[in-house]
Structure 1
Amino acid sequence: MVRGCFALSLAASVGLSLVYLAGGSRAWEGVLLAAALGGIAVGFILWATRLIDAPDNVEERREQKPGEGLGLISEVLEQSVTGVSRRKVLAGLASGAAASLGAALAIPSLSLGPQPGRSLFRTLWVPGIPAVDSEGGRVRPEDVPLSGIITVFPQGSEGAGDSQAVLLRVAPDLLSLPEARASWAPQGCLAYSKICTHAGCPVGLYRAQARELLCPCHQSTFDVLTGAAPVFGPAVRPLPQLPLAVDEDGYLVAQGDFSGPVGPSFWNVTQ
């Protein structure tokens, strides 16, 4: 009975692997997974209750005749050898069932996509590319209101989710950006990633008087004057800043990509 349960689990695990590799069927995968798990579980239960938990037998001691003990010794040895052999078979079946079940559960990892590489650290912004609105119109510094924001994209990629940025303008003398970013805000124009660094929601609200960007999902708030550093809410990482410049025709262009990876933090983000 125990051997049958382990054999059933082993066969079901192999079948699960074959069904998955053949294209998959949710119904059959569910049935085979249930048989694999159920077989190995029932097998261990029966092993524990029927083969290990044997009752204790007390035998009265009596006087033995000369030579009588040799037959008993032979019988005990024969039973011991048989018992060890059976345990080896059961242990082998249990190990095989567990190994095949583990392999069957690991095979779906082959369906995972390729590693993202550096794609999470780059967007479509490159040096010199113009900033345009959602309709593709180029933007001058004077087009940006002091009390509002404009969503901009790299030219030719209007609507690109990872490259969207909020563009706003403040009085240049109010800025308190890091020294390395002194040239990133021509005429007080600032651009930050529109993707919140907490959960990826769009940062679409601007408190003009407080000069703060607000994420409506969880109320993360960012100070635009200090490089969009978080001042309230669950976000702990600033919004990446897009370095801006004004070209010879008076339009805003990017000096390069964002200052850091956009969106929520992940395992190897250090900025």
Structure 2
Amino acid sequence: MSTTEEHRTPVSLSSVSENDPRMQPAAKNPDRVERWIAILFVLGFVGFIGFGWAYWVDAAPWILGSTVGFAFSFVGIGVVAWGKYLMPKGPFVEERHEMRSTDEERDAFAAAIIQRGGGVIKRRPMLGALLGGGLGIFGIVALFPVLRSLGPLPGKTLTRTDWKKGSYLVLQDGRRVHVDDFKISEVATVFPEGFEETPNGQAVDQTIIIRLDTEDFTTKKGRESWGPAGYVAYSKLCSHLGCPVGLYEQQLQMLVCPCHQSMFDVTVGAQPNFGPAPRPLPQLPLFIDKDGYLRSQSDYLEPVGPGYWERS
């Protein structure tokens, strides 16, 4: 048998030496092929980075698809080329056995794979490093959707609004509310001054003010100073699901949620007496300053809106 025919004859991987021609790569110029594969991997990494950037800036879907497709295409081509041109050309054969190999045989085969295959990979450390780096970059980029969907930590946003001690009550147009502006049973939506056009102002800061009397009005024990000149103010966010409670039934003195018809008695601290709302609407403590303008004594003393995981 000639040397060429001998080298084409399949041989067991566990018995071949590292210097056997069968262990040599199929490429005639391995270094050149390695450089091209490295370029493919680098292009793939650029694609992964581009995908991360596109996701972060909320780019168009076609940009997301193009960048991730670009990345996987070049990395995939590089991996296929590595396996085809830089791995041992063989051929190798492993005899089939009808029954399970012995533990010694399995250990020997695994050792041969690790020793021989590891030796081949060690010959191309740059490609191994590039492939590992690319997978690492993709792993980091894959975290972006998780981190972004979680959003920033809520901090105190669930328990605090922009109302604070001394905040002026203003209407949507920014006009401050004066004690003489409202007649009995008139209602309006108010905001803390300076926040009427902000996202928070249009969300958690929204407050509905009602004039129930011309004298100070007490809705609950301990709130004797909260309703000066008959004005009471409640969060406009329903304690059920956060819908805007903007309907006022004058005859019943009830605030009504239009979503699920919860009703709140404004004369007793907006206590719910109908519908699915589980809690009263938080009341904002008010006072009238020396110029006759309505202002808040403080922020709400309890969280506004629906329940969350730390609040039933």
Question: Do these two structures clear the TM 0.5 threshold for a shared fold by scoring above it?
Answer: yes
* TM-aligned CA deviation for residue 247 of structure 1: 1.4
Structural mapping, 1:1-271, within 5 Å: 18=49, 20-24=51-55, 25-28=63-66, 77-78=104-105, 81-82=108-109, 105-111=142-148, 112-159=150-197, 160-161=201-202, 162-171=204-213, 177-269=219-311
Paired residues of 1:204 and 1:215 also in contact (CA < 8 A)? yes
Cα 1:86–1:242 shift into 2, 3 Å: same
Which position in structure 2 is the counterpart of 1:61? Answer: none
**Cα shift readout 1:6-30 (whole Å, capped 9, x = no counterpart):** xxxxx9xx99965543434431577
* Cα distance in 2, alignment partners of residues 17 and 234 from structure 1: 48
Aligned to 2:85: none
Identity among equivalent positions (%) equals: 40
**Letter paired with 2:173:** E
Indicate conservation of the 8 Å contact 1:19/1:28, yes or no. Answer: no
Tell me the matched-pair count: 220
**Local SS of the residue matching 1:153:** strand
Q: In the alignment, is the contact (CA less than 8 A) between 1:174 and 1:225 conserved in 2?
A: no
Looking at structure 2, the residues matched to 193 and 184 of structure 1 have their Cα atoms a distance apart, in angstroms, of: 14
Q: Which residue of 2 aligns with 1:48?
A: none
5+ residue gaps, structure 1: 1-10, 36-55, 59-71, 90-95
Q: Distance in 2 between matches of 1:137 and 1:183?
A: 24
Q: Distance in 1 between matches of 2:263 and 2:310?
A: 24
Distance 1:82 1:110, change over 3 A: same
* Distance change in 2, residues 1:156/1:23 (3 Å): closer
Rounded Cα–Cα distance in structure 2 between residues aligned with 1:107 and 1:261: 31
**TM-score scaled by structure 1?**
0.63
Q: Structure 1 residues 211, 84: closer, same or farther in 2, change over 3 A?
A: farther
* Cα separation, partners in 2 of 1:105 and 1:216, compared to 1, 3 Å: same
State whether residues 185 and 244 of structure 1, in contact with CA within 8 Å, keep that contact through their aligned partners in structure 2.
Answer: yes
TM-score of the superposed pair, with normalisation by structure 2: 0.56
**Partners of 1:104 and 1:86 in 2: how far apart?**
32
Instruction: Name the amino acid aligned to 2:109.
Output: T
Superposed displacement of residue 190, structure 1: 0.3
Q: Which residue of 2 aligns with 1:51?
A: none
Could you tell me how far apart the structure 2 residues matched to 1:259 and 1:144 are? 25
Looking at structure 2, the residues matched to 263 and 208 of structure 1 have their Cα atoms a distance apart, in angstroms, of 23
| Alpha-carbon distance change, 117 to 85 in structure 1, aligned in 2, over 3 angstroms | farther
Deviations 1:42-96 (A, max 9, x none): xxxxxxxxxxxxxx969xxxxxxxxxxxxx98xx843664279779x9xxxxxx9
- Give the residue type in structure 1 aligned to 2:143: A
Q: Secondary structure at the match of 2:166?
A: coil
Q: Partner of 1:180: helix, strand, or coil?
A: coil
Contact 1:130 1:252 in 2 (8 A): yes
**CA 1:84–1:207: 2 relative to 1, 3 Å:** farther
What is the SS of the residue equivalent to 1:168? strand
Counterpart amino acid of 1:256?
A: S
**Stretch of structure 1 that moved more, 137-146 or 149-158:** 137-146
CA RMSD, 1 decimal:
4.1
In terms of fraction of residues, the more helix-rich structure is 1
Where in structure 2 are there 5+ consecutive unaligned residues?
Answer: 1-40, 56-62, 74-96, 118-131
C-alpha change, 1:258 and 1:79, in structure 2 (3 Å) is: closer
